[in-house]
Amino acid sequence: IMASSFAPPKLADFILTERLGSGTYATVYKAYRKGDTREVVAVKVVGKKSLNKASMENLLTEIEILKTIRHPHIVQLKDFQWDNENIYLILEWCSGGDLSNFIRSRRLLPERVARRFLQQIACALQFLHNHNISHLDLKPQNILLSGSILKLADFGFASYMSPWDEQSVLRGSPLYMAPEMVCRRQYDSRVDLWSVGVILYETLFGRTPFASRSYAELEEKIRSDKPIELPAGARVSRNCRDLLLRLLERDPDTRITFTQFFSHPWVDLEHMPDAESLGKAKELVLKAVQKDQEGQRSAALSLYCSALEHFVPAIHYETDRQRKDALRQKVSQYVARAEELKAMVASDNRLSFEQFKSTRDILRGNTLHFPRYRYIMYTSLPQEESGMEDNDTLDLYQQSLGELLLALAG
């Protein structure tokens, strides 16, 4: 309470207001740009006196990196200034606070929310990886929220590293640090993948894998060679479990690689909500309607399913309430039509096994969000080839629609 009563420093073009938080050598304030726009920003104030050689280098690296990169999931550096006492980083304002507070306020997140968040982190990480930049201090406190958009922040420890560069400086936070940083003091960019695993674990289970009551206990857990296990009774999908355990491999040589991470089916960057989601969905749905009009029911059904997998992220991405509702209504119509087609295809005995197989392959390639869609076609098969009862299939189809409608309502 005492600290917040100190008057914030004066800055030529901005009015600094509430103090948002402070670290070792910086304090962050909310601020308004003077003039008509009254644009809200965050100002990171770094006292020159508090900087030693290492922290000065960190700060210069942060400015250099943020000045040169632009990405929707990385906090934007708008400007930087200095005077006799301080250096000021003027940063994009993120109104939702940090991911740490978000997790704490909800205790743990449903898998589908954790996945949306992870997709955004993966997208930012892919961009950094392509520019040979390692963050080296990924943790929920350094991930900010702007609405439902996540943005990586605090590049104070970030480093330009080629994939083969190794560092030995101890950086970051012990709970999120890869074991090789502590045990070997020898590490490379793969430490970011471990940190992503810890963040995902925390979003799903409300605590980190190395959560401890004392520093001695924490150190013991970090230095142990026991494989990381998920909490007893953890209820997550098979793909999610696979990703978690591969990210949290203690040995960086057996840990999932960046390429494998970006293409992992649970990460599924292909169906990440973004500006292109709606365009992809519309393109597929136009083809579906065309096939539908031509009477090609199974092909139309397959295309409707593929379109729906892009419509759901498109709804998630849309921020305008009216457009979101209009989109939901439209998508509900496509779902209803898919259901009608399902019934027709199920009773259409003219579909040969070979035709079925090719349709099934199309569906299988587009079932990452709604895996039960792969069962849609099974009723068309002769009973001995499908190995499923008609009733089972219809149940599974109904469940998949239930999942889809749940996503539409969310």
Spell out the domains of the chain, with CATH numbers in brackets: 3-92 (3.30.200.20), 99-271 (1.10.510.10), 277-409 (no CATH)
Distance (Å, whole) CA 385 – CA 364: 17
Predicted pLDDT of residue 197: 96
pLDDT at 258 > cutoff 90: yes
pLDDT at 394 > cutoff 50: no
Tokens of 17: 């207001």
Which of the following is catalytic: 13, 36, 79, 137?
137
User: How does pLDDT run across 271-311, given as a tens digit for each residue?
Assistant: 888 888 889 989 999 999 999 999 888 888 888 888 888 88
Distance (Å, whole) CA 121 – CA 123: 5
pLDDT category of residue 403 using cuts at 50, 70 and 90: low
pLDDT at 232 > cutoff 90: no
Query: Which stretch of 224-228, 356-360, 375-379 has the lowest confidence by average pLDDT?
Result: 375-379
Burial of 54 (0-12, 13-18, 19+ CB in 10 A): exposed
| Residue 137 is among the residues annotated as catalytic for this protein | yes
Q: For residues 263-284, b (16+ Cβ closer than 10 Å) or e, as one string? A: ebebbbeebbbbeebbebbeeb
* Predicted TM-score (pTM) above 0.85: no
User: How does pLDDT run across 175-190, given as a tens digit for each residue?
Assistant: 888 887 777 666 778 8
Predicted pLDDT of residue 348: 63
Predicted pLDDT of residue 65: 86
53 is in an annotated binding site: no
pLDDT at 221 > cutoff 90: no
Best mean pLDDT range from 162-166, 169-173, 182-186, 363-367:
182-186
**Mean pLDDT over the full length of the chain:** 78
Predicted pLDDT of residue 239: 92
pLDDT category of residue 406 using cuts at 50, 70 and 90: low
pLDDT category of residue 53 using cuts at 50, 70 and 90: confident
CA distances from 58 to 51, 135, 165, 270, 339 (A): 10, 12, 18, 34, 57
Predicted pLDDT of residue 3: 44
Predicted pLDDT of residue 52: 79
For the four alpha carbons of 176, 178, 181 and 186, in that order, the dihedral sign comes to negative
